[in-house]
């Protein structure tokens, strides 16, 4: 191995440098974003936007202005922040005013998200109605080196996104605090360090430790450039009012001096406030708290984020959190009137954040984006082929073999549409970068018939819209039991794969009633949410579900779906506080008669989306 030329104090680990002694490059990819949902946007605004930017949907063009008046929409992005930040660079390099991140702390643990099932609230049913889903993983099988590489890559991109007056705040604890500080020094320079804030959570109970309980986290604050925003903060004194000598900063002396009266005597003042220093005594969220606690593991208190944003941003700032979890930073930014961008790779995080923001009074419109097929294409290229280039036959074979293995199936050779076999079922796998089409399913069913097989499982990332129940019925007529299963995003997460956390969910479908309460008006009533083969759902969950609607956590309607982005016009959802779910929408009144496409979207308790379009005639 070539000699590595270390020219300054830095943290090194196996894998930080290439064999030839050069620094490993941070992957900087730029992929197009797709807008998958817009929320709280009025139809009039949307129509106007469409006129202004005809190709806005589904690919995000980023032509909007930088203020709400100029069309800015806040953004919640589902995906790996490495690719997301890389893809944001084109429009946002040097534009973000404050970034707070609360990444995994390398605790070696997995974090679960608890979901209640059904309408009853916590007190009544105790934990009988609760299921646990893995929200995210913080295990680094390949060792702390892989964690450090992950963080160094992200810190480098974060720095590029910050404006010249921007600030980065990195939240961590004793597990990696000492290491992250070194990485931050390397990226930002020790002269750009501002604070090591101690968040002291005095109310966290920790039993069973044979040393002092660890009751604080660390937040490192760095500025990007020479200038930055800081507004000193005040807090109430624990001891109540105190009498103290009045002091002030003397510019000429460059020191703090006592203030004196005309008689030359020191002046005293009474106050119950103190200037906030770098030790923050802010209570940890309590499990029983149902106003702020949304049940997301490692959720941080809003009071802490509020203090950060109030101290380190100016009005109208653009704030981002690329490990947003339950969306605490975004919720606080929203309440303070800032613009925001959030990102997370967990579907529970994105769903929890969406609901949390919706619960904020007068929450401004926001959109949910992802990198969709481009992210999968990139992953496929990097994992099986030649970085991002078009996929070779060998790489395709490896891709199929990988998914088959995760599904517990064996590869098959010599057939065209049937890629594998699991028990007595034949398996077809959809491409990573295209929806599974109805023709594709028909071809696989036909091949099944040809080779005299009676069960077919089709696994796909995306699907040509609708008609699953009809397809299943059609296959049945040909003597084939057809199951359509979703390939989950976690397949692209090494940690989830290593842990065996990959669950393939069957596509569900909806039965609805369209009501016509008055002329030009319409309601949607959910009649059934069908998960075709419930035996695929773990028994511990199935046993807690009493009726079909218990599977539903959230549903929404786009009254005038235009085959592009789902626009949420009406929505209802369960919260920890309010478990009831309306099954009939409010009426919607159309401006004029005509043919409309209504899209109904359900998010179930597993965090999966099911969308179904219904064509309706409005009289």
Q: How far apart are CA 111 and CA 95, in angstroms?
A: 32
How far lies 565's CA from each of 75, 449, 483, 607, in Å? Answer: 14, 37, 27, 19
Q: Give the tokens for residue 420.
A: 């594998």
Four-residue CA torsion sign, 549, 551, 557, 561: negative
Closer to ligand SAM by CB, 154 or 588: give it.
Answer: 154
b/e map 444-471, b = 16+ CB within 10 Å: bbebbeeeebebbbbbbbbbeebbbeeb
Alpha-carbon distance of 373 to 77, in angstroms, equals 14
Give the residue with the Cβ less far from ligand SAM, 101 or 545.
101
**Phi/psi of residue 215, nearest 5 degrees:** -120, 30
Phi and psi at residue 225, in whole multiples of 5°? -110, -155
Number of shown-chain residues binding ligand SAM (CB under 6 A) = 19
- Minimum Å gap between C-beta 386 and ligand SAM is 23
* Binding window for ligand SAM (CB under 6 A); candidates: 53-61, 291-299, 409-417, 471-479: 291-299
298 lines the binding site for ligand SAM (CB under 6 A): yes
Quote the tokens at residue 379: 């992953």
Grouping H, G, I as helix, E, B as strand and the rest as coil, residue 499 is: coil
Q: Please identify which residue in 117, 157, 319, 349 interacts with ligand SAM, judged by CB under 6 A.
A: 349
CB of 328 to ligand SAM, least distance (A): 3
**Residue 468 interacts with ligand SAM (CB under 6 A)?**
no
Residue of minimal CB distance from ligand SAM? 325
SS3 511: strand
> Under rule CB under 6 A, which residues in 299-338 are in contact with ligand SAM?
299-300, 323, 325-326, 328
Shortest reach from residue 23's CB to ligand SAM, in Å:
21
Q: How far is the CB of 439 from ligand SAM (least distance, A)?
A: 35
The helix (H) or strand (E) run that includes residue 354 is helix 347-358
Name which position in 31, 183, 308, 343 contacts ligand SAM (CB under 6 A): 343
Beta strands 420-422; 521-530: pairing state: unpaired
As measured in angstroms, the least distance from the Cβ of 224 to ligand SAM is 21
Q: Is 201 in the site for ligand SAM (CB under 6 A)?
A: no
Contact between 105 and 172 under an 8 Å Cβ cutoff? The reply is yes
Q: Which is nearer to ligand SAM, 150 or 446 (CB)?
A: 150
Q: Which stretch binds ligand SAM (CB under 6 A): 118-126, 249-257, 293-301, 464-472?
A: 293-301
Cβ 97 vs Cβ 318: under 8 Å = yes
Closest CA to 115 of 134, 137, 132, 136: 132
φ, ψ for residue 406 (rounded to 5)?
Answer: -65, -30
Q: How many CB atoms lie within 10 A of CB 442?
A: 15
Least distance to ligand SAM, CB of residue 411, Å: 30
Beta-carbon contacts of 234 under 8 Å, excluding residues fewer than 6 positions away, are: 273, 274, 275, 276
The least CB distance from residue 526 to ligand SAM, in Å, is 29
Select 136 or 220, whichever has its Cβ closest to ligand SAM. 136
481-486 vs 505-506, strand pairing mode: antiparallel
Q: What token pair was written down for 480?
A: 């084939």
Shortest approach of ligand SAM to residue 102 CB, angstroms? Answer: 4
- Three-state DSSP at 377 gives helix
Nearer to ligand SAM, 385 or 607 (CB): 607
Residues 46-105 that bind ligand SAM (CB under 6 A): 80-81, 102-104
Distance of alpha carbon 481 from its chain centroid, rounded? 35
* Phi/psi of residue 380, nearest 5 degrees: -60, -45
- Pick between residue 80 and residue 506 the one whose CB is nearest to ligand SAM: 80
Q: Candidates 141-149, 225-233, 296-304, 516-524 — which segment interacts with ligand SAM by CB under 6 A?
A: 296-304
- Complex with ligand SAM: residue 320 or 425, whichever CB lies closer: 320
Considering the complex, what minimum distance in angstroms separates the CB of residue 341 from ligand SAM? Answer: 12
Instruction: Compute the least distance from the CB of residue 305 to ligand SAM, in Å.
Output: 8
Of 566, 560, 564, the closest CA to residue 614 belongs to 560
Q: Please report how close the Cβ of residue 463 comes to ligand SAM at its closest, in angstroms.
A: 25
Kindly write out the interface string for residues 218-257 of this chain, putting x where it contacts ligand SAM by CB under 6 A and - elsewhere.
Answer: ----------------------------------------
> Among residues 81 and 572, whose Cβ is nearest to ligand SAM?
81
> Nearest-CA neighbor of 116 among 544, 603, 583?
544
Q: Which is nearer to ligand SAM, 149 or 612 (CB)?
A: 149
Which region, judged by CB under 6 A, interacts with ligand SAM, from 262-270, 340-348, 401-409, 559-567? 340-348
Return the sign of the alpha-carbon dihedral for residues 463, 465, 471, 472: positive
Rounded least distance, CB 466 to ligand SAM, Å = 30
CB of 339 to ligand SAM, least distance (A): 19
Radius of gyration, CA atoms only, the chain: 27
Q: Residue 75: beta bridge partners?
A: 341, 367
CA pair distance 380, 94, nearest whole angstrom: 30
CB of 435 to ligand SAM, least distance (A): 24
Compare residues 79 and 420 and give the one whose CB is closer to ligand SAM. Answer: 79
Residue closer to ligand SAM (CB basis): 323 or 366: 323
Question: 544: which 2 tokens?
Answer: 């807690």
Tokens, residue 307: 């203090």
Q: How far is the CB of 345 from ligand SAM (least distance, A)?
A: 4
Site map 124..163 versus ligand SAM, x via CB under 6 A: ------------x---------------------------
- The owner of tokens 């990819």 is 29
Region from 61-69, 214-222, 292-300, 405-413 binding ligand SAM, contact rule CB under 6 A: 292-300
Residues near ligand SAM (CB under 6 A) are 80-81, 102-104, 136, 296, 298-300, 323, 325-326, 328, 343-346, 349
């Amino acid at each position: 191995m070539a000699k590595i030329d270390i020219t300054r104090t830095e943290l090194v680990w196996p894998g930080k440098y290439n064999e030839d002694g050069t620094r490993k490059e941070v992957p900087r990819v730029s992929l197009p974003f797709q807008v998958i949902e817009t929320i709280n946007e009025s139809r009039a605004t949307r129509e106007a936007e469409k006129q202004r930017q005809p190709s806005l949907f589904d690919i995000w063009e980023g032509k909007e202005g930088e203020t709400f008046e100029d069309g800015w929409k806040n953004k919640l992005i589902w995906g790996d922040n490495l690719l997301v930040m890389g893809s944001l660079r084109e429009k946002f390099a040097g534009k973000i005013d404050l970034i707070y991140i609360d990444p995994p702390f390398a605790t070696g643990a997995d974090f679960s998200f608890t979901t209640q099932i059904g309408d009853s609230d916590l007190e009544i049913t105790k934990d009988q109605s609760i299921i646990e889903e893995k929200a995210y993983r913080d295990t680094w099988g390949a060792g702390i080196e892989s964690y450090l590489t992950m963080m160094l890559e992200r810190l480098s991109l974060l720095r590029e996104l910050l404006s010249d007056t921007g600030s980065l705040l990195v939240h961590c604890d004793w597990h990696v605090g000492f290491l992250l500080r070194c990485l931050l020094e390397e990226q930002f320079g020790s002269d750009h360090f501002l604070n090591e804030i101690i968040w002291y959570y005095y109310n966290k109970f920790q039993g069973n430790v044979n040393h002092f309980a660890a009751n604080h986290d660390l937040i490192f604050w760095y500025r990007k450039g020479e200038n930055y925003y800081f507004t000193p903060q005040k807090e109430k004194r624990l001891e109540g009012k105190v009498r103290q000598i009045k002091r002030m900063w003397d510019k000429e002396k460059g020191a703090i001096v006592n203030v004196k009266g005309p008689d030359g005597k020191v002046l005293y003042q009474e106050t119950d406030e103190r200037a906030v220093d770098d030790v923050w005594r802010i209570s940890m969220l309590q499990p029983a708290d149902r106003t702020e606690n949304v049940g997301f593991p490692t959720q941080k208190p809003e009071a802490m984020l509020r203090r950060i944003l109030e101290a380190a941003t100016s009005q109208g700032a653009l704030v981002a959190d690329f490990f947003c979890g339950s969306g605490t930073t975004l919720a606080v930014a929203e309440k303070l009137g800032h613009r925001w961008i959030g990102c997370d790779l967990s579907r529970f995080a994105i769903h929890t954040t969406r609901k949390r923001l919706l619960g904020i009074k007068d929450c401004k419109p926001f959109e949910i984006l992802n990198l969709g097929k481009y992210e999968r294409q990139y992953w496929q290229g990097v994992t099986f082929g030649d970085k991002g280039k078009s996929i070779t036959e060998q790489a395709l074979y490896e891709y199929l073999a990988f998914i088959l293995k995760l599904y517990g199936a064996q590869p098959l050779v010599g057939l065209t549409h049937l890629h594998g076999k699991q028990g007595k079922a034949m398996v077809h796998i959809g491409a990573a970068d295209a929806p599974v089409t109805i023709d594709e399913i028909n071809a696989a069913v036909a091949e099944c018939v040809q080779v005299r097989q009676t069960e077919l499982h089709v696994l796909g990332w995306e699907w040509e819209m609708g008609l699953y129940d009809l397809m299943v019925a059609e296959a049945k007529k040909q003597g084939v039991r057809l199951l359509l299963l979703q390939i989950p995003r976690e397949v692209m997460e090494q940690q989830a794969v290593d842990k065996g956390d990959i669950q393939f969910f069957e596509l569900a479908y909806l039965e609805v009633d369209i009501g016509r309460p008055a002329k030009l008006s319409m309601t949607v009533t959910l009649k059934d949410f069908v998960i075709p083969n419930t035996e695929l759902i773990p028994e511990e969950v199935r046993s807690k579900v009493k009726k079909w609607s218990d599977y539903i956590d959230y549903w929404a309607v786009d009254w005038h779906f235009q085959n592009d982005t789902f626009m949420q016009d009406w929505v209802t959802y369960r919260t920890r506080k309010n478990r009831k779910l309306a099954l009939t929408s409010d009426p919607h009144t159309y401006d004029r008669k005509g043919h409309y496409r209504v899209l109904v979207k359900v998010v179930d308790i597993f965090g999966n989306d099911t969308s179904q379009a219904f064509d309706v005639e409005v009289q």
